[in-house]
Amino acid sequence: MPRLVPPQDAMTILLKGDPVTVEKAKALNLIHAIVPAADLIKAAKDWIKGGGKAVAPWDEKGFKLPGGPVFSKAGMMMFPAGNAIYRRETYDNYPAARAIMSCVYEGLQLPIDAALRVESRYFTSVLRSKEAAAMIRSLFLSMQELNKGARRPKDVPATKVKKIAVIGAGFMGASVGYVSARAGLDVVLIDRDQESADKGKAHAQKVIEEQIKKGRAKPADAEALLARITPTADYAALKDVDLVIEAVFEDRKVKAETFAKAQQYLKPDVIFASNTSTLPITSLAESFKDQGKFIGIHFFSPVEKMMLVEIILGKNTGDVALATALDYVRQIGKTPIVVNDSRGFFANRCVGRYVAEGNEMFLEGVPPAMIENCAKMAGMPVGPLSLSDEVALDLGLKIMKATEADLGPNAINPEQKKLMVEMVEKQGRLGRKNSKGFYDYPEKGKGQKSLWPGLSALQPKQLDPDTLDIEELKQRFLVVQAVEAARTVEDHVITDPREADVGSILGFGFAPFTGGTLSYIDFMGTKKFVELCHKLEAKYGSRFTPPKLLEEMAAKGETFYGRFAPKKAAA
């Protein structure tokens, strides 16, 4: 490619792996002619008659590289800059991207045959790397199996959800309504009054209009989609739906009142789902008359972009409810994982540890910029302080207070609570939603967010960055999440390692090159991982204590994929 196309363009195509249209390929000189399918043979004959040669352009005498030699002025402008971009985008975590850079750099200094030999050796080396094994298994094989219904009960006939109701037309409910309507389902959006329900539909309109602006949808699509959404304040509209998704405020009392209002209108076989992110499904189901038809369907925000949906089984959830939930998630083009009930389920338990670890480092005196950068170097998409802002600091504090009320003061870290009370209640910093949290946010379109200068005053002490072990900081972020994932297996929340791995990458961006939280442990080796846990536990406390299951697996040299071999997909 870099023998046909200027090196900058070649590198972009090779490293991004995005599809290229025929027209663009022609403009770049990657292909030399575009011919209608019916005229192929004639065009080929004409090319031969017109003096076409069987010699590749780079074998022609006097051939010059489109970007000049590597060691030329143009080459020196390209490779150092390319290196910097590569580091910024991958933090050297992805061997394939590094190999591509090396192939081009070395290959352009060699004749084509030697260059292709170099390339095949890099390819073989990447193919045998643990990163390739981990990513192929989780992001290709496991993801396909889960999308095809690996966890669907075999003896339940296929269901097709045609009409759903979403109760609660706030940001979350409106987004669930939008993705359902986009998939061709009829949607009833219910809220306490008509105005609130209309706002939910307006959200769908705004999203589809943005898609039209970007050329990803046509005005006719918008019209059809909006026609499928009916906003109302009347619960009687529930009478002919196949599935109800409740997305009201995260409060037991409010949810129980919603269930009571809805039940009188439901037809006998309708499945009822709660989109809760933390409240255990079994306890929510107690205020629902047929617990076998009650299930959790937990969407991630922003719903339009996030591919994962967590399906939560309560103690009494039946197979039909599970099958219907899985069929619905498949209809809307998302990837489902099935988890058993617990506070925070799987994703929030793990990502909660990540956010808390960022807070721990902050209280230890690690510079905030270093916390954020080390997290990204470890492979996370955003730093923990930035993630706290996105989720909203006041919501984090509310969850902390609810956990303390339900489970007692030992369930939370009092220092972290104190920090959150200071940020939220005393400083009025709620996160991105009020433009100030750990970061200050500029007005729309006016520059980038920046860490709030007042943060250092909230740190009990400040450590000298030059004395800190960057590798250890990176490990802490990944280990604290992986050890929590191992606990979810011990607690029977996760029963299939594929779901922990796919769920952790799609749900909260756990370093994709590791293959996910459990693959991270498996590829490191359980024995080595447990040793690392004990080292961190001695230094930083019980959040790194490996569960008994992990100790036992380490002693026997077992892996998660060996001990909990995934069940074969349903035919």
Q: How far apart are CA 116 and CA 110, in angstroms?
A: 9
Q: How far apart are CA 139 and CA 405, in angstroms?
A: 39
The H or E element containing residue 439 is strand 439-440
Asked if residue 283 lies in contact with residue 291, where contact means CB atoms within 8 angstroms, the answer is: no
The tokens of 453 are what?
Answer: 């200068």
Asked if residue 397 lies in contact with residue 424, where contact means CB atoms within 8 angstroms, the answer is: yes
Residue 170: C-alpha distances to residues 151, 167, 360 (Å): 31, 9, 33
Chain-centre distance for alpha carbon 555: 33
The H or E element containing residue 451 is strand 450-451
Supply the residues annotated as catalytic. Answer: 298
Bond before 219 cis per omega within 30 degrees: no
496 residue type, one letter: D
Helices marked H in 280-379: 281-285, 319-331, 347-364, 368-377
The tokens of 418 are what?
Answer: 């104190």
The DSSP string of 157-214 is PP----EEEEE--SHHHHHHHHHHHHTT-EEEEE-SSHHHHHHHHHHHHHHHHHHHHT
Asked if residue 169 lies in contact with residue 231, where contact means CB atoms within 8 angstroms, the answer is: yes
Classify residue 31 as exposed, middle or buried by CB count within 10 Å of its CB (0-12, 13-18, 19+).
Answer: middle
251 residue type, one letter: D
The tokens of 145 are what?
Answer: 């199996």
Q: How do strand 450-451 and strand 439-440 relate by DSSP bridges?
A: antiparallel
Residue 456: C-alpha distances to residues 120, 259, 469, 476 (Å): 51, 46, 20, 22
Residues 6+ apart with CB under 8 A from 157: none
* Helix/strand/coil (H/E/C) assignment for every residue in 262-306: HHCCCCCCCEEEECCCCCCHHHHHCCCCCHHHEEEEEECCCCCCC
Residues 6+ apart with CB under 8 A from 508: 300, 347, 350, 351, 354
- Tracing tokens 């986009």 back to the chain, one arrives at 182
Q: Taking the alpha carbons of 423, 426, 430, 431 in that order, is the dihedral positive or negative? A: negative
Beta-bridge partner residues of 271: 243
